[in-house]
């Protein structure tokens, strides 16, 4: 299978090339030339298999330049012993026809682990296939979740180094502690005096700095990226929708061939819900794809009207991983729905960067409204939902999951709930303990994030995830802080390179 660019249909590269380089030189995203089918017989086989076998069978259809043995090694490395509990992605029955797909049992307690545990394995093999045994240096600018998940994913992976920059004032106490205590011989973490944009701008500057690239080249190293537009992060996300359906078959919730589910996803960069779209296109019987947003509801408006307009107020919310006004992966959807018309996509994307706005054509609008439904809710509704689900169903949801649960009830009011809904749960409630505690036991909210972990446990009885509970006594390994202008020097220093 070959991959092409959403902005230039004449591009044709292998999966390994797409993963090793991340983004097409024309600025477009890599997409598979065709979407492979996953048949009913394969679903029956998946139902009998464990998560890792399901992953190998799905990924094998997309990463055709990897052998089955290679994929098995990658998948084993990613998911064996790394996810707490018995299942990698358990499906929890919380109410009539409502199933929560918990994607946060990985080492950093957010769903980013599902892809970032696997990406390092795919990336190192891709680099071997396409480059020449160079050591890969991953640079990440993070506002919190991605940095930690990438550190944990790349920790001690041979042939790689990883350096993460985070804004000194921009992350929560727990997120900071997660990063500065990171273990591993190939990792580095540094705070930036400034905000996330400063960190991001600095990283981009280093990526495009030819001089530093030449210095790395001399030491047989090259930069690469682990951000969410890399196909190697998207493909692993298709697996868990197929896995959830297989689990529902095993439980007798799905009884007949073709029985449908709806899928509800709390959405930011549109990666997670796009993976569900690909699963549907492969043949998984999904009825509606329900896109849930917080107060930053640019996607709700787009799905309802076909107009994407980022010229609006930006809100900082209790579900910060969805505080985003440019959803990069939406480009892959409109490419597919436009009939793979890279000219039209390029036009829309040019308009987005020039004016912050674009409007898709009627043919695309019609397809979007047949496939998707969208809704949003604000912080107050998010916390009310956490409290209601906890009181009524004894289920503790994080703020992002709560947005999805709230939006699904809006959908049910309009269309009913006659098919099972799979609701993606993207973070452990403990990762956003202050807001969750604020919803269910306001009197226990304090200044001390670790005290609040204990408080959440006392009130809910839900186990504190080991990776978060274990943070308290961990030694700080990285206390470096630099200015945006000092990032280049920091990178070289951390790599042990003296010019």
Q: Which residues are catalytic?
A: 112
**Among 182, 227, 321, 338, which residue sits at the site for ligand PLP (rule: CB under 6 A)?**
321
The order of strands in the sheet holding 160-167 is: 221-224, 135-141, 160-167, 187-193, 481-483
Q: Counting contacts by CB under 6 A, is residue 112 touching ligand PLP? A: yes
Query: Does residue 110 interact with ligand PLP by CB under 6 A?
Result: yes
* Nearest distance in Å: CB 130, ligand PLP: 26
Is 300 a residue that touches ligand PLP (CB under 6 A)? no
| Under rule CB under 6 A, residue 396 binds ligand PLP | no
| Strands 372-376 and 421-425, bridge-based pairing | unpaired
Residues that bind ligand PLP (rule: CB under 6 A) add up to a total of: 17
Our finding on whether 425 is near ligand PLP (CB under 6 A) is: no
Residues 214-233 that bind ligand PLP (CB under 6 A): 228
Q: Which residues contact 283 (CB under 8 A, 6 or more apart)?
A: 37, 38, 39, 40
Smallest gap, in angstroms, from Cβ of residue 44 to ligand PLP? 29
Provide, rounded to whole angstroms, the least separation between the CB of residue 176 and ligand PLP: 16
Closest CA to 275 of 45, 72, 35: 35
Which position among 194, 268, 287, 434 is part of the footprint of ligand PLP (CB under 6 A)?
268
302 binds ligand PLP (CB under 6 A): no
Q: How far is CA 254 from CA 96, 149, 178, 314, 412, in A?
A: 14, 33, 39, 41, 19
270 touches ligand PLP by CB under 6 A: yes
Out of 52, 54, 148, 400, name the contact with ligand PLP by CB under 6 A.
Answer: 400
Would you say 4 or 175 has its CB closer to ligand PLP? 175
Question: According to the binding rule CB under 6 A, does residue 176 interact with ligand PLP?
Answer: no
Residue 82 in tokens: 């790394």
Q: 315, 295 in Cβ contact below 8 A? A: yes
Name which of 254 and 324 has its Cβ closer to ligand PLP. Answer: 324
Part of the chain binding ligand PLP (CB under 6 A), chosen from 109-117, 166-174, 200-208, 387-395:
109-117
241 or 270, CB closer to ligand PLP? 270
Minimum distance between the CB of residue 87 and ligand PLP, rounded to whole angstroms? Answer: 19
Assign 3-state DSSP to the chain and report helix, strand, coil percentages, each to 5: 50, 15, 35
Q: Classify residue 367 by burial, with Cβ atoms within 10 Å: 0-12, 13-18, 19+.
A: middle
Residue pair 203/165 in contact by the 8 Å Cβ criterion: yes
* Burial degree of 91 (CB within 10 A; 0-12, 13-18, 19+): buried
272 is a contact residue toward ligand PLP (CB under 6 A): yes
3-state secondary structure of 54: helix
Using CB under 6 A as the binding rule, whether residue 382 contacts ligand PLP is answered as no
Token pair of 138, please? 């991953």
Residues 119-148 that bind ligand PLP (CB under 6 A): 145
Both tokens assigned to 377: 């809710």
- For 163, phi then psi, to 5°, come to -130, 125
Q: Which residue in the set 117, 175, 426, 464 belongs to the binding site for ligand PLP (CB under 6 A)?
A: 426
Q: From the list 58, 192, 229, 427, which residue makes contact with ligand PLP (rule: CB under 6 A)?
A: 427
To ligand PLP, the closest distance from the beta carbon of 343 in angstroms equals: 27
376: tokens are 């949003």
Is the CB of 249 or the CB of 276 nearer to ligand PLP?
Answer: 276
Total H helices, total E strands in the chain: 22, 16
Question: For binding to ligand PLP (CB under 6 A), which residues are involved?
Answer: 110-112, 145, 228, 266-272, 321-322, 400, 426-427
């Amino acid at each position: 299978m070959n991959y092409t660019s959403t902005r230039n249909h004449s591009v044709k590269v292998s999966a390994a090339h797409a993963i090793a380089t991340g983004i097409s030189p024309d600025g477009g995203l890599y997409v598979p030339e065709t979407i492979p089918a996953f048949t009913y017989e394969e679903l029956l086989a998946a139902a009998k298999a464990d998560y890792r076998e399901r992953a190998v069978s799905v990924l094998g259809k997309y990463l055709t330049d990897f052998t089955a043995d290679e994929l098995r090694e990658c998948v084993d490395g990613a998911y064996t012993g790394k996810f707490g509990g018995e299942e990698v992605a358990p499906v929890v029955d919380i109410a009539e026809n409502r199933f929560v797909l918990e994607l946060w049992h990985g080492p950093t307690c957010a769903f980013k682990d599902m892809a970032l545990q696997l990406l390092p394995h795919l990336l190192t093999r891709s680099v071997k296939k396409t480059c020449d045994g160079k050591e890969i240096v991953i640079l990440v600018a993070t506002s919190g979740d991605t940095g930690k998940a990438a550190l944990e994913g790349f920790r001690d992976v041979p042939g790689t180094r990883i350096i993460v920059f985070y804004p000194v004032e921009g992350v929560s106490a727990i997120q900071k502690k997660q990063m500065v205590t990171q273990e591993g011989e190939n990792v580095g973490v540094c705070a930036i005096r400034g905000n996330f944009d400063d960190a991001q701008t600095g990283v981009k500057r280093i990526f495009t700095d030819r001089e530093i690239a030449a210095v790395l080249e001399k030491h047989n190293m090259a930069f690469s990226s682990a951000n969410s537009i890399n196909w190697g992060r998207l493909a692993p996300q298709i697996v868990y929708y197929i896995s959830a359906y297989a689990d529902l078959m095993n439980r007798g919730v799905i009884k007949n061939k073709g029985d449908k589910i709806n899928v509800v996803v709390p959405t930011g960069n549109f990666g997670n819900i796009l993976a569900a779209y690909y699963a549907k296109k492969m043949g998984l019987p999904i009825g509606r794809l329900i896109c849930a947003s917080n107060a930053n509801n640019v996607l709700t408006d787009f799905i309802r009207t076909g107009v994407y307009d980022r010229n609006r107020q930006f809100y900082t919310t209790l579900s910060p991983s969805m505080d985003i006004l440019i959803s990069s992966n939406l480009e892959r959807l409109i490419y597919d729905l436009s009939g793979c018309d890279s000219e039209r996509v390029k036009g829309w994307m040019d308009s987005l960067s020039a004016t912050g706005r674009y409007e898709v054509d009627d043919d695309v609008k019609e397809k979007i409204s047949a496939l998707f439904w969208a809704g949003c809710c604000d912080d107050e509704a998010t916390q009310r939902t956490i409290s209601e689900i906890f009181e009524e169903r004894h289920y503790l949801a994080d703020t992002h999951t709560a947005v999805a649960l709230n939006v699904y009830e809006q959908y049910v009011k309009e269309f009913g709930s006659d098919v099972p809904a799979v609701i993606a749960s993207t973070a452990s409630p403990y990762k956003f303990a202050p807001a969750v505690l604020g919803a269910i036991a306001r009197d226990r909210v304090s200044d001390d994030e670790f005290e609040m972990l204990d408080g959440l446990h006392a009130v809910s009885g839900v186990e504190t995830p080991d990776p978060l509970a274990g943070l308290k006594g961990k030694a700080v390994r990285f206390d470096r802080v630099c200015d945006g202008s000092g990032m280049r020097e920091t990178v070289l220093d951390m790599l042990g390179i003296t010019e």
